[in-house]
Amino acid sequence: MGRGAGARMRATWSRPFPQRRPSGQTDDVQPLIDVFSLARLLDGSAPDEPPPIMLDLRWNLTGPPGIEAYRRGHLPGAAFVDLDRELAGPPGPGGRHPLPPAGAFQEAMRRSGVSGAGLVVVYDDADSTAAARAWWNLRYFGHQRVRVLDGGYRAWSAAGLPVSTAAPAAAQGDFVARPGGMPALDADGAAALAKDGVLLDARAAGRYRGEVEPIDPVAGHIPGAVNAPTLGNVGVDGRFLPPELLRDRFAELGATDAAEVGAYCGSGVTAAHEILALSVAGVPAALYVGSWSNWVADPANPVATTET
């Protein structure tokens, strides 16, 4: 395994996984929330839970910038978070969306009003691809109370719930970023998991097979990885499949709570969505944050194009 490219993140398989519950919840906080449950939190009809901090993560890899959609309308009180600038460090050999430094992420979350104890709800346009990276980052940096709005902005607006164009006056939060809250992999850890566990490739089948590669300089996949396109985790409306269907889907690929499981994609965004889906299914898994863009930065790393 080559070691010449980029900063490597230490694999954390020795760290205990979060306690597992049938719905994939951790510490009594389920990873998903539906629009009507969120509406009750926001209007104060859930007396034992103050309104959450909400983060708008609308983002598209090829543009336009998500801030444009945010300005046209967002959930009341939501702050916009830029995935490229606030959920990732500068692109380079470590990948196109490497983890940001803990201090930079902490400051970004504090600016958005995130505190250590309060509930945070993250959302994007519909399928939670970008929101899942925010969920994973917050969990990795130690926040225990994070939920993803299932179906995102589209589900909220389709339900006739109110939207706003006003920029919130978010109070400064007190969140403290402490790395290590979620299991993560570096390139060596991903290679070992592909051999001895289950490593899921969350990209589309054509990219996995090396038939097309629109972004990264080399096509193919990590040898031994199993293709599980993350779009298969959601329905046509962008909402996640029920936990039992997700469990069945992953079990067919060998990814169960009895196995060591990890996921990667092109740059650690859609793979975070895979990790979220696995969590809903009750299967703990590690994220290879650098993903394919980090893997191919080292020419010594092998590349496969045949089905596993």
Structure confidence by residue, pLDDT tens digits, 140-165 = 999 999 999 999 999 999 999 999 99
CA 96 to centroid of chain Cα atoms: 15
pLDDT band at 5 (very low <50, low <70, confident <90, very high): very low
What is the average per-residue pLDDT within 176-192?
Answer: 98
pLDDT band at 49 (very low <50, low <70, confident <90, very high): confident
- Rounded to a whole number, what is the largest CA-CA distance in the chain? 57
Strands 53-56, 120-123: parallel, antiparallel or unpaired by DSSP? parallel
Residues identified as active-site: 265
Whole-model pTM: value is: 0.91
- Percent with pLDDT over 70 in the chain: 91
pLDDT band at 27 (very low <50, low <70, confident <90, very high): low
Q: Is residue 211's pLDDT more than 60?
A: yes
* Residue 169 pLDDT: 84
Strands 184-185, 198-201: parallel, antiparallel or unpaired by DSSP? unpaired
CA distance 287 to 190: 9
Full strand arrangement of the beta sheet holding 286-288: 184-185, 286-288, 261-264, 198-201, 226-227
Full strand arrangement of the beta sheet holding 146-149: 32-33, 146-149, 120-123, 53-56, 79-80
Torsion angle, alpha carbons of 102, 290, 27, 153, to 10: 90
* Residue 44 pLDDT: 80
What is the average per-residue pLDDT within 86-114?
Answer: 97
* Residue 48 pLDDT: 77
Q: Is residue 16's pLDDT more than 70?
A: no
* Residue 60 pLDDT: 87
pLDDT band at 118 (very low <50, low <70, confident <90, very high): very high
Mean predicted lDDT score pLDDT of the chain: 91
